[in-house]
Structure 1
């Protein structure tokens, strides 16, 4: 795997250009930074001037702290109550939407002599996490103040912002959120940093940006939906390669892989790559996904194995030792990650987050290096 951190910095710069002066950026580096490497990505983004980071779990936040990352970190997920001590000890901001969260953090804060910082979560349409009404938010905020917690922010998450042609639901979410936050202010409670926009929200326009934005997929070079492809010139930052370790010359009728899922309809050259679903390649990729060997588009054939997959290189000059591009950064071509996502009827996020830490990672200095 080759990761181009300069492309991540490039994408961050492009997204920042979309923001009004004073709007902050909190970079999402959860899920191993979408497969790109948590610590390396965090350092690249902080060097680029990103102010804050967010992760999904307490463990991800603690890992960043242990790696020497000192920037503010928000844990987006619901935390186990027994993890409150770790949250406070490592100066991680918790997402709070229940009285039990407040009580656990208050106990941990008193024990350590610290006033924990929290962000309050409002559910405006995802039906996932957060309080759902003005009254609930006011109650939780008052509990936080009474228990010695510092309200650093209030946020929500857009469920439909990636639908470029229809802003109706997103606009309804935004209006609901702003009304709830206004009620909090009217009650004399400052909400801290108010934020809602994910990558799609950033691209949708300034009215969605509020005090801070939380880009995720766009930082890594992928648009949240195809409709946004012309909005900003993002550069995918990651490519995955594997060397051919074997080529078998087989007659028509030969079966390939588990369950004999592929039967060669002609005399074929079947090459084996030492990468499989344990590395994050979907087992179903043999249903139409391709890799590239030089300029040759080779279909994946049969079921992807745990540690290998097979490709059909019939008609090419491929040899043992040649490098195959399994996922490329050149979106739109055969063998690109986005092309594979399209074939499998999924999203780039899923394929990126599947990538296993066991894949060796090489740092590219230039975008051209990442494309080989």
Structure 2
């Protein structure tokens, strides 16, 4: 039996490479690949993941906020980094670290242009996002004239790309909506190309878009969750390998008599004698209270052990009555043999939320580097 000794998040870089190569195989040779490494690379280890992906030949990275991009630059990452949701307060720092902002509104465009002028920039690379139906961030079609007006008499900025985001690329029942988004994006780009007099590259597809709408890969695609082993469908998941595996150990085993309770608020009460195990993992580590009270399970020595009672801040209790185990034994929470998507779906959420919730206090262990 394995003795890992503590709760760890194991990160498999061979799995990362496999996923990248699988997704890359779906693209034309000339199509650029942007790897999304925001939110600590979906809850894993942003620097380690980015360094590996840079060595594999990705063309771009994307982060959500400036401070994430700064961390990558300070860690030696050289390739372009798109900041998807830059805040004006960080514009100076963004330029100082050669990061490329997504300018998504006339206000943001104006403010960034002012900072670029103050810092004496020429042809500073920026990206323009257009809202084609997600209704989150982005210019609208009727902003095109204003964009052209703001840019026609300045040489401080250079538009590197136009992009948009599909709202339901994984849901083929929404195919008509997705195709309409793609068509709208094409029309926007065509008009902008004419007004600007030069041709930025385009990108719209996320992981599910790469799989379901390859005809819209344009000059670049963006992949996040797929790189980490999840493809938003069972069929695609079977082709990918989870990068992150969350493991913990058994701290203590208890014998519970009939009518005894376990944990806060006596949420679990035994109907007959049971054996329980306490694990050093709780909602402060990213396993929320909603996973408790029999909603899901962990795996111990190849058998399922349901989580019982309320999840505590630093501990969960599981039923091991029918499992041959002892204190110190390894426990699999999710990973290559037990999907984070399945674990998350037990409480009607998604792998994205579970993965990005794993606390920084959980030790990251790199394998197959």
Establish whether TM, by shorter chain, passes 0.5.
yes
> Which residue number corresponds to residue 363 of structure 1?
366
Unaligned runs of 5+ in 2: 1-8
TM-score using structure 2 length: 0.93
Deviations 1:268-319 (A, max 9, x none): 1111100111111121111421001111110011111111111110121111
Partners of 1:306 and 1:182 in 2: CA distance: 53
Moved more, 218-227 or 21-30: 218-227
Matching of residue 30 in structure 1 with residue 59 in structure 2: no
Find the residue that maps to 2:204 and give its secondary structure: strand
For the Cα contact (< 8 Å) 1:279–1:359, is it kept in 2? yes
Is residue 2:208 matched to residue 1:200? yes
Moved more, 287-296 or 95-104: 95-104
1:93 aligns with 2:100: yes
Larger relative contact order, structure 1 or 2 (CA cutoff 8 Å, min sep 6): 2
- What SS does structure 1 have at the residue aligned with 2:172? coil
CA–CA distance in structure 1, aligned partners of residues 226 and 258 of structure 2: 45
Q: Distance in 1 between matches of 2:45 and 2:128?
A: 28
The answer to which of 213-222 and 95-104 deviates more is 95-104
The answer on 1:43 being equivalent to 2:51 is yes
Give the drift of 1:150. Answer: 0.9
User: In 2, distance between residues paired with 1:256 and 1:144?
Assistant: 65
Equivalents in 1 of 2:336, 2:150: separation in Å?
Answer: 48
The aligned residue for residue 13 of structure 2 is 5
Equivalences for residues 214-363 of structure 1 within 5 A: 214-226=222-234, 228-229=236-237, 233-286=239-292, 287-331=294-338, 336-363=339-366
* Alignment partners' CA distance in 1, 2:111 and 2:195: 25
- Per-residue CA deviations over 1:321-364 (Å, capped at 9, x if unaligned) read 10111112224xxxx32221121111111111111111101111
Instruction: Using the TM superposition, give the Cα deviation of residue 96 of structure 1 relative to its aligned residue in structure 2, in angstroms.
Output: 0.7
Give a deviation string over 1:207-252, Cα, whole Å, max 9, x none.
121110000100001112336446xx11111101111111111102
Distance of 2:206 and 2:254 partners within structure 1: 47
The alignment of Structure 1 onto Structure 2 pairs a total of residues equal to 358
Where 2:242 maps in the other structure, the secondary structure is coil
Q: Secondary structure at the match of 2:331?
A: strand
Task: List gaps (5 residues or longer) in structure 1.
Answer: 367-372
CA-CA distance at 1:145 after TM superposition: 4.5
TM-score normalised per structure 1: 0.92
8 Å Cα contact 1:152-1:192 kept in structure 2: yes
